[in-house]
Amino acid sequence: MGTRFTRLDSGTTNCYLLEADEGYLLIDTGYEEDYDGFREELRERDVAVSEVEHLLLTHHHDDHAGFVADLLADTDLEIIAHEAAEELLRTGENDRQHGGGYLNRRIYYLAKLRKLLNPGWDLTFPPVELRPDDVRVAGDDDEVLRERGIEGQVLYTPGHTIDSISVVLDDGTTFPGDAAMSWPLWAGIRYCPVFVTDVDELYRSWERLLDAGARTLYPAHGDPFDAERLRENLGAYDDDSLVEFF
């Protein structure tokens, strides 16, 4: 029997709660303002916030690390993140140092519209300081999840950000964070994230997910989809397609 999980979607980011040997492992948080909704979803599932023993961050962005500080105030959970996330989490701001851009012009204008409608959206979040006992993965890791009773591995999947990691369970269930997504497909994303630092690196990450046995992807944005969608869309974009972000 594989690892049991449930999707939490109280905000714009899908978070996933996986059963572990002790309590639960949470994959990602949402924006800072999503915390109350997250707590309510836990109550509806009869899960106490103190039962969330582990938090795996697929990357540092504001919509993934937004209420980490609130969680740390209410629990003594451990954080699992890529080692490159440490300094980025400490700054409390989405990385602006490694280039990249919006995937296409439609996404660019959608982002401008969002900013117009929500002037407070500034790509920042309450800073997070990793502690000595938190786990920093340096690359692929086949032990960190198993040691906590979860049948799967962590893969380093950069391209969206330099600190992106994904979870691939032994049965092919995959949580890619923003390394792949299915929303908004109508904007022509072809399962890519809306923001990319390096397109070629992103597609190499897709190939590594496929090689690791990914079957069904549960993204942070959008509905689940078959991993074959990645194979079908490899190479659909290149770095010249990106629209300047900053």
pLDDT tens by residue, 131-188? 999 999 999 999 999 999 999 999 999 999 999 999 999 999 999 999 999 999 999 9
CATH code for residues 5-94+102-244 = 3.60.15.10
Residue 96, token pair as written in the block: 């602006």
Confidence of residue 11 (pLDDT cuts 50, 70, 90): confident
CA separation for the pair 91, 112 (Å, rounded): 24
Region 28-33: mean pLDDT is: 97
How many beta carbons lie within 10 A of that of residue 129, not counting itself?
Answer: 12
Kindly report the pTM of this predicted structure.
0.97
Model confidence pLDDT, tens digit, residues 85-96: 999 999 999 998
- What are the structure tokens assigned to 47, written together? 């899960």
Is the pLDDT confidence value at 246 over 80? no
Q: Give the C-alpha separation, 118 to 244, whole Å.
A: 20
Confidence at 74, pLDDT banded by 50, 70, 90: very high
